[in-house]
Amino acid sequence: MKKLSISIAAKRYDISVSEEFASIFEKELEETFTKGNNDIKTLLSAYVQKSYEKFLLEKEIDKINEKL
């Protein structure tokens, strides 16, 4: 397990993730959030973006399933 940290609304949060996932997740954290404090709006925006990406992936999976 690897521990990653992020600050949101002046609070620090430590997140433990598997080593395999850590490098990918750490890169996404760096692209989405700043090293300093992040506000709730940034967190909400990141959540909405990831939800939209999931929606698009599910649509693509459905298309592939229909072809099979």
Domain of 46?
Answer: 2-67
- Structurally, the chain folds into a number of domains equal to 1
Supply 27's token pair: 């890169």
pLDDT at 35: 84
Summary mean pLDDT of the chain: 94
Which DSSP string do the residues of the chain spell out, in sequence order? Answer: -EEEEEEETTEEEEEEE-HHHHHHHHHHHHHHS-SSEE-HHHHHHHHHHHHHHHHHHHHHHHHHHHH-
Per-residue pLDDT reduced to its tens digit, 14-43: 999 999 999 999 999 999 998 888 999 999
pLDDT at 67 over 90: yes
pTM of the model: 0.78
